Amino acid sequence: MKTIAIIGGGVTGVTTAYALAKRGFAVTLLERHRYAAMETSYANGGQLSVSNAEVWNHRSTIAKALQWMLRSDAPLLLHAHPTWHKLSWLTEFIGAMPQYHDNTIALARMAVAAREHLFQWADDEGIQFDLKRQGILHIHRDREEFEHALAVSKLLERGGVPRRAVTPDEMRAIEPALQGQYYGGHYTESDSSGDIHKFTNGLAQAAQRLGAQLRFNQEVVQLSASGGGVSVTVLQGDSADTTDYDAVVICAGAASRELAAQVGDDVNVYPVKGYSVTLQLDDAASQAAAPQVSLVDDTVKLVSSRLGDNRLRVAGTAEFHGFNRDIRADRIAPLTEWVQQNFPSVSTRSITPWAGLRPMMPDLMPRVGPGKAPGVFYNTGHGHLGWTLCAATADMVAASIAAARDSVLQRTTGPLKLA
């Protein structure tokens, strides 16, 4: 097993390409856009947030979703229009609620491992991506919210993530720009933030230097797996081209479900739309008034990250509306208003809105490893933690492919005999 096709040029595809290229595989990455990281890895919240490893399969999530269904600006918006995909996903989501504690702990452990890989890769390759290692501060506006976070902190601790409760005074000492009244907060000093688009493109260039081929404008339309490998058909303009590989890794985000079905696997990824705005901090007053520490406002489910001196990214919301990519004004408005309310001296004159589809599994655990057919592997379904987890899952799937290759070599050549 030597030639590997990777479908998808977002952060999971690129980290997978890099991890495999480092192991000596002949890697070809196929991306339908002209560049890497042009969809969900383009303008997310910017957080490398181990402290956000809590899965969503909790009764409070269901209660809030029902409460918010009639609000167009709701942090979590579930469109009532039924589809089989949505209904099957929600059924599995509810079915995974008993695994809430175990899955949260497992995600935390995975995120801790990912952080070490990611920082090492960035250092090795000299990637500059506006990294701020100043922690993440969760802010809570009432006692109920704070006490839920206390319970989450106990799970995170079991996963190897130290997170401490802080008073309002301590919160303002951590982030002096913070205004308003809060019940309390939680601070994870080991968390960080940065620009996912810059990181992904920097690592893509590093993968190329290691020999990986990055092919853009390549829309994969058909997969066929057999005992001899995997055939991948891509559409280029009006013509289709099929190439055979020893193996394929599906890192196609929300498109992974359809591709998986072609090779006999059920990967029930649902596209959960999130929004962001990037504010240009063009004046000295805005630069001074904008937060430096990355924030999570648990009441409205928004995050913010400072990207260099002159940008502030605010992101959040979860919208269940299929593959709809529309950037809606009523969904963007709460992000800008959050800045105006909490950081009134920051100018909101120049903003860039964005929307992306998070590829989310019903239990919020990414699908990583082999499929049913020989030569088919997955690294997809990371939900709201794609950047946070990708370095670990890329290393996991690369190790799985290397183990499969070694197993084939062992069967072919037999055991090594020492004289």
Q: What percent of the chain has pLDDT over 90?
A: 87
- State the Cα–Cα distance between residues 27 and 35, nearest whole angstrom: 17
| H/E segment holding residue 215 | strand 213-215
Gap between the Cα atoms of 272 and 321, Å rounded: 7
Give the per-residue pLDDT at 66: 76
DSSP letter at 178?
Answer: -
Evaluate whether 318 touches 272 at the Cβ level (below 8 Å): yes
CA distance 164 to 105: 17
Q: Is residue 17 part of a domain?
A: yes
Residue at 335 is within a domain: yes
* Contact call for residues 335 and 305 (beta carbons, < 8 A): no
Q: Is residue 337 part of a domain?
A: yes
Q: Is the pLDDT of residue 288 over 90?
A: yes
Q: How far apart are CA 163 and CA 414, in angstroms?
A: 50
Q: DSSP H helical segments within 210-283, as ranges?
A: 256-262
Least confident of 27-36, 159-168, 222-231: 222-231
**Structure-block tokens of residue 91:** 């059924």
The pLDDT of residue 416 is above 80: no
Q: Which two tokens stand for residue 191?
A: 């968390």
Report the chain's mean pLDDT, rounded to a whole number: 94
User: Does 419 map to a domain?
Assistant: no
For 252, counting Cβ atoms within 10 Å of its Cβ (0-12 exposed, 13-18 middle, 19+ buried), the class is buried
Distance CA 5, CA 28 (A): 5
- What is the tens place of the pLDDT at every residue in 41-89? 999 999 999 999 999 999 988 888 777 776 878 888 888 788 999 999 9
Q: 146 phi and psi, to 5 degrees?
A: -65, -40
For residue 415, pLDDT over 60 is answered with no
pLDDT mean over 340-346: 95
pLDDT confidence bin for 281, thresholds 50/70/90: very high
Under DSSP, the state recorded for 218 is -
Element (H, E) at 13: helix 11-22
**pLDDT for the residue numbered 68:** 76
The C-alpha angle 75, 78, 80, rounded to 5 degrees, equals 150
Beta strands in 216-323 (DSSP E): 219-226, 229-236, 239-245, 247-250, 270-280, 294-297, 302-307, 311-320
pLDDT over 90 at 372, yes or no:
yes
The DSSP output letter for 123 is H
305 in Cβ contact with 46 (< 8 Å): yes
How does strand 302-307 pair with strand 367-370? unpaired
Query: Residue 200: which of 389, 313, 36 has the closest Cα?
Result: 36
**Residue 153, H or E segment:** helix 143-158
The answer to whether residues 4 and 28 touch, using CB atoms and an 8 Å cutoff, is yes
Q: Which residues pair with residue 296 across a beta bridge?
A: 138, 303
Q: How far apart are CA 390 and CA 273, in angstroms?
A: 19
Q: What is the DSSP letter of 255?
A: G
Kindly report, residue by residue over 119-172, the tens digit of the pLDDT.
999 999 999 999 999 999 999 999 999 999 999 999 999 999 999 999 999 999
Please write the tens of the pLDDT for every residue from 297-311. Answer: 998 999 999 999 999
Q: Give me the domain span that covers residue 352.
A: 3-410
> Does 252 fall in a domain?
yes
Higher pLDDT, 416 or 177: 177
Q: In sequence order, what E strands does 309-404 have?
A: 311-320, 351-360, 367-370, 376-380
Q: Is the pLDDT confidence value at 329 over 80?
A: yes
**Residue 415: inside a domain, yes or no?**
no
Distance from C-alpha of 348 to C-alpha of 345, rounded to nearest angstrom: 9
Q: Is residue 416 part of a domain?
A: no
In DSSP terms, which residues pair with 295 in a beta bridge? Answer: 137, 304
Given this model, what pLDDT does residue 371 score?
A: 97
Number of domains in the chain: 1
Model confidence at 410, pLDDT cuts 50, 70, 90, reads low
pLDDT band with cut points at 50, 70 and 90 for residue 419:
very low
Q: Is the pLDDT of residue 1 over 70?
A: no
Domain containing residue 119: CATH number: 3.50.50.60
Residue 17 CA to residue 154 CA, distance in Å, equals 35
Q: Are the C-beta atoms of 300 and 321 separated by less than 8 Å?
A: no
Answer yes or no: is 299 within a domain. Answer: yes
**pLDDT at res. 284:** 97
> Model confidence over 346-370: pLDDT tens digits?
999 999 999 999 999 999 999 999 9
- Is a pLDDT exceeding 70 seen at residue 106? yes
Q: State the DSSP code for 383.
A: G
